Structure 1
Amino acid sequence: MLPINPVLLAFASPLTRYGVPVPLGSSFTGPRLLMPLDPGVPLRIMPLGASITYGWQSSTGDGYRGPLRNMLTAAGSTVNMVGSREHGTMVDNDVEGWPGFVIDQVAAKANLSVPTWRPNVVLVNAGTNDCLQNRDVAHGGERMERLVRSLWRMSPRALVVLSSLIVNSNPAAEQNVLAMNSQFRDLAGKLRAEGLPIVFADMHSEVGPVKEDLKDGTHPDDAGYQKLANIWYAAMVEAENKRMYKAPEPIKCLPDDGGS
């Protein structure tokens, strides 16, 4: 376990429970104390999902990816975001985000992209469109399990960070979100019990976006995306504390630092 200053813990926000001490202040926008994520292991990160992964409705198009990358590099990590698309004004803006896609469609895109980039971290946020379309919500966890297990087949060194879905302003969709999140949480626990490298990032929590952070009832504004970045970061710290990271598989002409 990485050392945590107990004085900081005594004056920390609720994000502390994720392992990221955050002294309370006037305008919290992100972790004030950035715990390092094994600087000796480059992070080749694939953000995988639909429109929230893509950064829809954020002012820059970066969504959570820009602030998350900034936190990771500030904490000492070498980062290369990978994916088949580019979106946003940030450096290293590669992403595997497909607006409007349901879980199975995201999985199909992953099948094409993951073998190419072989990430050692995959950030998975998918299922909101299944909920909006009321698409067989009762079996959403099974579809997600197929997706997640396929990631390890294609990139055996990958840590999977599986997130819950964020709050939705549509009452019917929100009920589906809650049902899907319960399945995803159980899935993460099941896979972890099998010894697989996975952590759960709970976006539907007291530190996640609230309805007031949504621009259109589904997608966050910039403040909401910052909250997502904070939770991804905290989950990645948890994975480091559990020693889940492996160095990415070398790929010719692919640098460790996507911002170089």
Structure 2
Amino acid sequence: MAKMGRATWLLTALAVASSMVAAQSPAIKIMPLGDSITGSPGCWRALLWRKLQDAKITNTDFVGTLPAQGCGFTYDGENEGHGGFLATGIVSNKQLPGWLSKTNPDVVMMHLGTNDVWNNKSPDEILAAFSTLLGQMRDSKKTMKILVAQIIPMNPPNCAQCAQGVVALNKAIPGWAAAKNTTDSPITVVDCWTGFDDAKDTNDGVHPNSSGNEKMANCWFDPLVRVLKS
């Protein structure tokens, strides 16, 4: 009985110590980076946060210089989703380093390139901007984990080239990511394209409606969880 009691005490002590270490572990800082699809209001982020909570994944801190917007419930919604911004413009205006220094993320979730396509930027131009942004992320933290979306389709009435432009960009992203991937700072390609219908899942051919937000939350969830657990 004495041995059993000692063993039980040891297991209890180990459990307590483990829970204390977990409680003291800092939250993983996640920056959602993009344009209005991410930030205005970007309620897929609210749904994603709630899915993480429901899965008991609570060691997260979403960060950014922009606040959460109303999505029907309270959520951790700081972000860098800047309406109208281009990846190429963020690079030319040297904006990302300042955002990174203010928030110090461990993980970046990037859904970017929609406005570049809308402005007739080629996949090569967009991916060159992605490469610069990637370098700035790694300068901020050499172990940065980056999730890059194959962006949702778009087909607004005043942009004849947009639908095929998104297809061309998304086709090029996996090869770019494979060439830039490193062990210390891995890149995960997130497929937000498949199953997304711009006619049914957007209000205007570009921005997600309620069904589109659900689909975007779902496309990010599993890849993000794998990164968080890594």
TM-score over 0.5 for the pair: yes
Alpha carbons of structure 1 residues 138 and 191: separation in structure 2 relative to 1, 3 Å: closer
How far residue 157 of structure 1 moved from its aligned partner, in angstroms, is 3.2
Contact 2:31 2:80 in 1 (8 A): yes
CA distance in structure 2 between the partners assigned to 1:118 and 1:44 by the alignment: 7
Aligned to 2:189: 200
Aligned to 1:234: 222
Is 2:62 aligned against 1:81? yes
CA distance in structure 2 between the partners assigned to 1:62 and 1:219 by the alignment: 9
Aligned to 2:125: 139
Contact 1:130 1:137 in 2 (8 A): no
Root-mean-square deviation (Å): 2.1
Identity in percent: 24
Once the two structures are superposed, what CA deviation does each residue of 1:153-197 show, in whole Å capped at 9, x if it has no partner? 1122321111011111245101111111122221122223x3332
Consecutive unaligned residues in structure 1, runs of 5 or more: 1-37, 244-260
Contact 1:144 1:184 in 2 (8 A): no
Alpha carbons of structure 1 residues 201 and 41: separation in structure 2 relative to 1, 3 Å: farther
Alpha carbons of structure 1 residues 234 and 82: separation in structure 2 relative to 1, 3 Å: same
Aligned to 1:68: 48
Equivalences, count: 198
1:214 alignment partner, one of 202, 207, 225: 202
2:101 alignment partner, one of 115, 128, 137: 115
Q: Give TM-score scaled by structure 1 length.
A: 0.70
* Deviates most, 123-132 or 80-89: 80-89
SS in 2 for 1:211: coil
Once the two structures are superposed, what CA deviation does each residue of 1:116-160 show, in whole Å capped at 9, x if it has no partner? 211111100110001111124432212111112211111223211
Is 2:80 aligned against 1:96? yes
Alpha carbons of structure 1 residues 237 and 209: separation in structure 2 relative to 1, 3 Å: farther
Aligned to 2:36: 51
Aligned to 2:11: none
CA distance in structure 2 between the partners assigned to 1:76 and 1:157 by the alignment: 25
Would you tell me which structure has more helix in proportion to its own residues? 2
Aligned to 1:167: 153
SS in 1 for 2:204: coil
CA distance in structure 2 between the partners assigned to 1:41 and 1:199 by the alignment: 23
What amino acid sits opposite 2:135 in the alignment? Answer: R
Consecutive unaligned residues in structure 2, runs of 5 or more: 1-21
Once the two structures are superposed, what CA deviation does each residue of 1:68-123 show, in whole Å capped at 9, x if it has no partner? 11111222222211111113123322111111111033343321111221111110
Contact 1:124 1:161 in 2 (8 A): yes
What amino acid sits opposite 1:73 in the alignment? Answer: Q
CA distance in structure 2 between the partners assigned to 1:41 and 1:226 by the alignment: 29
SS in 2 for 1:86: coil
